[in-house]
A and B are shown apart, each in its own frame.
Chain A
Amino acid sequence: MTDTAAALPEDTVTDNEITSVLSSESRLRRIVTIYLPLAVFIIVLLFPFYWMGITTFKPDAELLDYKHNNPFWISSPTFQNIRKLLFDTDYPRWLWTTMLVAFGATFLSLLSSVLAAYALERLRFKGSGYVGLGIYMAYLVPPSILFIPLATVVFQMGLFDTPWALILTYPTFLIPFCTWLLIGYFKSIPYELEECALIDGASRLQILRRITLPLAVPGLISAGIFAFTLSWNEFIYALAFISSSENKTVPVAILTELVQGDVYQWGALMAGSLLGSLPVAIFYSFFVEYYVSSLTGAVKE
């Protein structure tokens, strides 16, 4: 919220400047230079979701006939596609697996990141800078260059085609981000608080549990949301490490199980995409501010 406050004075400056010109002209200019482009941006950014939603509820007859129907609207909406998806396919199962994997990976990453961030930021030790840099560098290794050797590692460990393959590998791209985010939060907590507790005879772990963590809750929420959405959206590991239909996650399952043959079931595909996007979208809508602050904070760090 502080950032909107910071933006206000500057806006009044530009407003003053504009009102110094003829007011009617400046109003028009403002509409053309600000609101019009902004509206185009929003329409373009949202259109695929609108199209996804409207296709989901269209009956097949309307879907493939633009001559007699307005394609932008539905004259007789139907739940047929969603019903088909929920009852004729393994979709509920895929959703459940995705949820399980996302929560498992998020929990594991948060736990490891909290401990690592605490050690790096609070228990200053020789070489902590190098360890921190190492963790940061891990963020720069993209999954696309790791999945082939990682597939062999997962196979050798006997985890291939189990949810554990994903729960254990997702933290590799979650931990670096979460650790850096949490280090930033821990930095903002005065060290004197911990010193007081230390003098009172608290052990280090008690300090972490009773003083540092409660004060770092916003950071934990940000890191948790970020980790959850990233694990929900992950694709390449889930595609490479899971082979049986019932263990697939939603993004992979829709692409590999619902796309069959040459005639695509667009209604069902869009229904699957919509339902697969909704959980993250809802989750995100509750914590938008945390999400935005973690996204921007991570870049500013």
Chain B
Amino acid sequence: MSTVDSKTVDALNWVAPKRDPGALGRLMDNKMFLVCVCLFPALGLLIVFLTYPLGLGIYLAFTDTQIGHAGEWVGLENFESLFQDRIFLNAVWWTVAYTFFATILKFGLGLWLALLLNHHVPFKSLIRAIILLPYIVPTVLSAIAFWWIYDPQFSIISYVLVDKLHWMEHYIDFLGTPWNARWSLIAANVWRGIPFVAITLLAGLQTISPSLYEAAMLDGASPWQRFRFVTRPLLMPILAIVMTFSVLFTFTDFQLVYAITRGGPINATHLMATLAFQRGIPGSHLGEGAAIAVAMIPFLILATVFSYFALGRRKWQQGSDND
């Protein structure tokens, strides 16, 4: 008894109230029944509102369902027409490009920020709290702020570049031409994504034992070599997981594009998700919208498989004491 801690003593002193175990009580102590009761709310909600709609979505993709009009099975017709559809093909290309560029920039800058924060800086936890703000605030609301920053006439960026610094002649038409709009969206996405990447990678950096750096320094490793041979391999597993999630959510992004450009100018910035929404809900072609959404699934599976192998590798690196 002398070795138990205070919590255990509390638990030991606690006396079960005298009770008459009724039928319900005995049922509750049946483990299998209890398991079912405990899992019911979570699994119930997930099956009704996630698994079933996922299956239904795949079914809808093969029908010509419209809002208020039950559809019929049309086979691959939706997909055949989509692959002839320049707007859809452009959306697929742009979704991939958007994910690619935004991810590279997010991870480059996020890793840099994480490395900066890993130094000894004053007010570290305050800075960390401030940095997460873009991630906390509703995306649509910060997107509206970006929309205002990208205003063709009153953009503050144009004002600084043209009127203050005199680096440029004319105000930038941020959202008026396809490429300007695309880079503007990528910039907004990177702005929103940096905090998540930086904070999670910082957590990864802090798990790396300082003695490894000491050993490397004793062996005469330069800062770059220390990053290359100590930080990088030990950060890789967490980097892979964070990147999988980041890619997954950038690829299926909807809010930023919907709020800032609504797919314009001339459908140049439609992501697959915004196009699916536009065709499916306001356009009322549910079948076609579902087909566009289903077309995203192969890409998502690729990302998940990547995640699975990254997790597997992490377990292997840590040895068997992980679980």
Contact surface of A with B, Cβ cutoff 8 Å:
3-4, 6-15, 17, 34-35, 37-38, 41-42, 44-46, 48-49, 51-52, 55, 63-64, 66, 71-72, 108, 111-113, 115-116, 118-120, 123, 125, 131, 135, 137-138, 140-153, 168-169, 171-172, 175-176, 179, 192-193, 196-197, 200-206, 210-211, 215, 229, 232-233, 235-236, 239-240, 250-252, 254-255, 264, 266, 269-270, 272-273, 276-277, 280-281, 284-285, 288-289, 291-292, 295-296, 299-300
Contact = CB atoms under 8 A, between A and B. Distances in A.
A6 B206 contact: yes
B140 interface: yes
Given A51-B145, A233-B139, A150 B53 contact: yes
B289 interface: yes
A214 to B, nearest CB: 10
Interface stretch (B72-80, B86-94, B173-181, B272-280): B272-280
A134 to B, nearest CB: 8
Interface string B186-205: 00000100111001101110
Contacts of A280: 136-138
Nearest to A123: B35
A145 B249 contact: no
A145 B12 contact: no
B156 A196 contact: no
Given A151-B281, A235-B138, A292-B199, A131 B130 contact: no
B134 A149 contact: no
Contact of B290 (A3, A35, A148): A148
13 contacts: A9-B210, A41-B113, A45-B191, A48-B145, A49-B145, A112-B42, A144-B254, A196-B12, A204-B34, A251-B138, A255-B258, A269-B148, A288-B132
Interface string B117-131: 111110011011111
A116 B38 contact: yes
A231 to B, nearest CB: 10
Contact of A292 (B132, B140, B297): B132
B45 A35 contact: no
Contacts of B144: 254-255, 269-270, 273
A206 B16 contact: yes
Counting from the closest, the 7 A-B pairs by CB-CB distance are A296-B203, A11-B120, A119-B38, A116-B42, A10-B210, A149-B57, A112-B41
Interface string B1-28: 0000001100110111000000001001
Nearest to A65: B154
B159 interface: yes
B41 A229 contact: no
